[in-house]
Structure 1
Amino acid sequence: MGITILAPAVENAGYTGREIDAQDSEGDVDMDRLPIKRPRLDQASGFGTGIVVPGETVTNDPQWMRGHGTFTTPLSTSIIATVAGTVSKTNKLLSVHPLRARYMPEIGDLVVGRIVEVQARRWKVDIAAPLLAQLPLSAINLPGGILRRRTSADELQMRNFFVEGDLVVAEVQSVHQDGSATLHTRSLSYGKLRNGVFMAVTGTGGSGAAATTSNRSKTSGAGSNIAAPPSAAAVGGVVRSRRQKWTVNAANGGGDIEIILGVNGYIWISKKADTSTAASSTTEPVSITRMEELATSSIYSSQNDEIPRQTRREIARLAGCIRVLVESSVRIEQDTVMSAYNASLEVDLEMDGRDYDDAAAATGAGQEGQDYLGGEKAQRILEMIA
């Protein structure tokens, strides 16, 4: 059986009549007279409206300066993209923001990381950056709020503070020349994470598909091996220079829930720790220093507290809202998360057709099987927050 070779189909878009008619007597196309490059994104077509790929010429105009994600050659004034992303301009500076990239640490960033290794006088932490970050022993608070130099005895007890697999929220203290970062947890707002759910979102600064897994725990309470299906790739990620830690007064009797948005794309949703309980258990007056001592004494505990069912349901609802935003390529920040959360509550009332009284909300009656935020619910939530 013979093989028939068909002539390549030539699209009309982008070609003139002279180029389409550039054929010889035998019907072959003159390849020398056809464009061999994709149309360039020049000043007339507008910057930031399309997506460029590595090797594509962004512009040939010499008035523009190249920024991140671009390069030029000595023999030409063309600015060429080095990553796949969107073109943005700042005055006369052109840069390409990648659709997906590893997190690049900056001083002052609030990050959520996972301990991967215990070394001499430091811990190695995964913060979704190209290199592992380090958390020195001298950059953490000792139990009881003691301020002193770290000794060899403290080095031998490092595993009493953090071990492999622990989740920690910290701040970037410094960035080295090779791109690695040094963290610190010298604040009551930082330390080991428990009583919640961990998420990793995709996008610029994110890593991996969006999924939820629990923190390492010794009890079978909330946050014990909770998993969710991965989401589609997104171009969103967590917005930098916005509020990244706040408390939500959850509906349906969920109580106070704390949300931590790490700039590196790692998110932590947990029950808000009640620091006043330990202080109220003592009969003697509690000073500010004493409150710090009581708070730091339990900051390295790996034991999850007992979390009510209503609180766990609202934690799952917030995680589902973030997953809906990620699947729709919406940037994650406080405003978008809270808008999606409020919209999910309204969608539940619309689809159920009735409001729950306090007794039903306390017992969870009539809400089984309605916590999944996907399909029609996800579309409705996106319409309400658009």
Structure 2
Amino acid sequence: MAITILPPVADDVSYPDSDGDSMSMDSDGGVDLTTGGSRPHKRPRLVAGTDISSGVITPGEVVTDDPQWMRGHGTYTNPLSTSIIATVAGTVQKTNKLLSVQPLRARYTPEIGDLVVGRIVEVQSRRWKVDVAAPLLAQLPLSAINLPGGILRRRTSADELQIRTFFSEGDLVVAEVQTVHSDGAASLHTRSLKYGKLRNGVFLAVTGTGGSGISSSTVKGGIGAGSTTVSSGAGGVVRSRRQVWTVNTANGGGDVDVILGVNGYIWISKHATDTPAVSSTTESVSITRMEEMVSSSIYSSQNDAIPPQTRREIARLAQCIQVLVQGGVRVDEETVMGAYEASLQVDLEVGDDDYYDDDEGRGEGREYLEGSKAQRILELVLERG
């Protein structure tokens, strides 16, 4: 016996809309879309004339559907419409008619000419692999450094055998980005007398883009101890500002060098007059003069004697940078010096008697800047800015 399949028959079902009327299915099984009562609400769009730089945009959210805007970094366009949609979580930045989303947290993107502070993580036959907080490890070729004695020649197999005597795993270096490859990896060089191995100081790591945290630790032969991680809302090192300078500290601390890497790595150390690798006042010299100045001491990992007063002022500068990052203030020379001067003013406001009553401990621990002192420093920095 044959089986006959009959087509389904749908009842006429009514759905109330927002005005109280009802909409019914048509005979073809479709829905009347002329009324908008049952349609889901769309996400709010940022159209022209609104403050698009405020607020946080989430991935997948429509920034605007106005065709007059062009999309930038952190966005993409729907090929079927003119909508600009965010791909990262961050704030919207407007440059003329260009819209881009600045991520709240991202890795450092190398650019040619950037001054960076990196850590050696791997030693290969003819190059070093350096961590510069980028998605890929940077490379420092053996041919891109100054040999002891200023020898300007081709590197041989003998130099490759002694490659670990120049830099080894864990060493910190300050270098300049020479080239950026197609995959995003950077090549560094330390051919200038302002670059080289870092010692006699303390290392800080601040996120370079967006500013989502700060961590401080010590390196081999550093002056501090321990490691901390503090979260923050915004911050980071400002690009296109002076990144190396010397601070004439108070309280008998002498001169202290500060190096702000664009990648968010910071080095604070005792000023070394006999080592031009970290000096910001080194003038350009001829090649013959450079040969005389470059010696084997620039690759030494042994720290010099650092007085307690200098240690305290280095710790004070490190705490000032932490206060800036915790408060969401961008880190540059102006804000760091403003925070340092504000910390000295806060010490005068508080007084020594609030810390210790005896003369031996007077002034100890004053570089610890947290709580109400940190809040007061931020207020003074913002007032001066």
**Smaller-chain TM-score range?**
0.7 to 0.9
* Dislocated runs of 4+, deviation >4 Å: 21-24, 287-292
Structure 1 segment 1-386 matched on structure 2, within 5 A: 33=38, 35-202=40-207, 204=209, 209-217=213-221, 223-275=222-274, 289=288, 293-352=292-351, 365-386=361-382
Q: Percent identity?
A: 69
Question: What are the ranges of 5 or more consecutive residues in structure 2 without an aligned counterpart?
Answer: 1-16, 23-34, 277-285
Structure 1 length-normalised TM: 0.83
Shift of residue 73, structure 1, vs aligned partner: 1.4
Name the CA shift for 1:37/1:226 in 2 (closer, same or farther; >3 Å). farther
8 Å contact from structure 1 (residues 110, 172) kept in 2: yes
Shift of residue 232, structure 1, vs aligned partner: 1.1
8 Å contact from structure 1 (residues 110, 169) kept in 2: yes
8 Å contact from structure 1 (residues 171, 183) kept in 2: yes
Partner residue in 2 for 1:15: none
8 Å contact from structure 1 (residues 170, 190) kept in 2: yes
8 Å contact from structure 1 (residues 64, 92) kept in 2: yes
Report the 3-state secondary structure (helix = DSSP H, G, I; strand = E; otherwise coil) of the residue aligned with 1:159: helix
What letter is aligned with 2:95? Answer: T
8 Å contact from structure 2 (residues 58, 88) kept in 1: yes
Name the CA shift for 1:159/1:120 in 2 (closer, same or farther; >3 Å). same
Name the CA shift for 1:331/1:364 in 2 (closer, same or farther; >3 Å). farther
Shift of residue 34, structure 1, vs aligned partner: 6.4
What letter is aligned with 2:214? Answer: A
Bigger CA radius of gyration:
2
8 Å contact from structure 1 (residues 212, 226) kept in 2: no
Name the CA shift for 1:295/1:234 in 2 (closer, same or farther; >3 Å). farther
What letter is aligned with 1:93? Answer: L
2: CA distance, partners of 1:243 / 1:263: 10
Shift of residue 96, structure 1, vs aligned partner: 0.8
8 Å contact from structure 2 (residues 231, 326) kept in 1: yes
Deviates more, 1:264-273 or 1:290-299: 290-299
Name the CA shift for 1:276/1:289 in 2 (closer, same or farther; >3 Å). farther
8 Å contact from structure 1 (residues 139, 183) kept in 2: yes
How many residues are aligned here?
342
Task: String of CA shifts for 1:106-141, please: whole Å, max 9, x gaps.
Answer: 000000000000112100000000000000000000
Report the 3-state secondary structure (helix = DSSP H, G, I; strand = E; otherwise coil) of the residue aligned with 2:199: coil
Partner residue in 2 for 1:220: none
Shift of residue 46, structure 1, vs aligned partner: 1.9
Task: String of CA shifts for 1:204-231, please: whole Å, max 9, x gaps.
Answer: 176x8412212212xxxxx245235321
